[in-house]
Structure 1
Amino acid sequence: MQNEDVSFFRLFGSIFAGIGSIFVVTGIIVGVHTRSLIGKSISTSGTVIDLVRHTSRDSNGRSSTAYYPVISFTSNSGKPIEFEANSGSNPPAYTQGQKVEILYNPQEPESAKINSWLDLWFLAVMHTGMGSLFVVIGGIPLVISFLPRK
């Protein structure tokens, strides 16, 4: 390899591996936070009382719509709580009146979450997986650029 190639591979590898590392660390932090939430939480049943429509536009002007469930439940202290889920879908994953299992911290019942893989683990798995892929894509040329040349 020529010096320009070595420089390119080192720069490319460093950028990709660096960005990937940030994503992996973010995924791990989100996963640890989720694990902590689960450890402190009480499981109870809630009811979907509404579906909130969120519409967004991409840079090309195309719009997309997702429906986020609003859940109502009563905390162990007897206080009625309503919260909007962190994830939505189209078509809606839930219907009004549907019972769902939720998790909530008794000290912060407003931060409740639906007890589903998507609501609890998707973000952590996506960040860690995507970050790992970036580390591999950047790491291979980075390592190769440091190997002795013949």
Structure 2
Amino acid sequence: MRVQVRGRGARRWIEFVVIAFGAVFLAIGLFLAGESVLFQADAERARGTVVALEWRNETSGASYKKKGNDKPMAYPVVEFASAGGTPRTFRSSTGANPPSYEEGERVEVLYRADSPQDARIDGFASLWLMPLVFGGIGLVIAGIGTTVAVAGRRRS
């Protein structure tokens, strides 16, 4: 498919929009990465146990159903004791199919001392997946837009 754009002004405007769109995604990825770094720096550590796997279908949006991707995702439910010895339970916000964890598996838990309900499993997916997805998409889109813009200016 070839899109024909009339005039330099329109082409430059499209290039700018594509680069800006990529830059926004890249900025979101960097923000999320910063949040993960700050969370890790301030977090307390505890040993936890996966006590259950909560299976859910994430059917948000019509495009999701159209693809026929209706496999349920397993969200680990983790129990741990905070520094004061109070038992805590949380459900990870990161699900997977096949499951990343098994019932009874021991995991490292990161939580904020001032709000132990804000806890995460110390693992790649729960800390770094979203920053990498947003940052990667942003980098690719901004890179493509920049490459097209530079190539267009060289041809002129």
TM-score, scaled to structure 2: 0.86
Instruction: Please give the residue correspondences for 1:89-108 in structure 2 after superposition, counting only pairs within 5 Å.
Output: 89-108=96-115
Q: CA deviation at 1:56?
A: 2.7
Q: In the TM superposition, what whole-angstrom CA distance separates every residue of 1:106-139 from its partner, at most 9, and x where no partner exists?
A: 1111111100111111111111111011101111
Offset, 1:5: 5.2
Aligned residues: 148
Shift of 1:61: 6.5
**Letter aligned with residue 130 of structure 1:** I
Identical counterparts, % of pairs? 24
Match of 1:119 in 2: 126
Q: Deviations over 1:78-127 (max 9, x none)?
A: 22111111111111111111111111111111111100111111111111
1:87 corresponds in structure 2 to 94
| 1:60 and 2:66 aligned | yes
Higher strand share: 1
Q: Distance in 1 between matches of 2:139 and 2:67?
A: 31
Taking structure 1 as the reference length, the TM-score comes to 0.89
Instruction: Write the distance in 2 (CA, Å) between the matches of 1:39 and 1:136.
Output: 31
1:12 shift after superposition:
2.8
1:130 aligns with 2:137: yes
Contact 1:9 1:141 in 2 (8 A): no
- Where structure 2 has 5 or more consecutive residues not aligned to the other structure, the ranges are none
Shift of 1:44: 1.3
User: 1:109–1:135: structure 2 CA closer, same or farther, 3 Å change rule?
Assistant: same
Shift of 1:147: 4.6
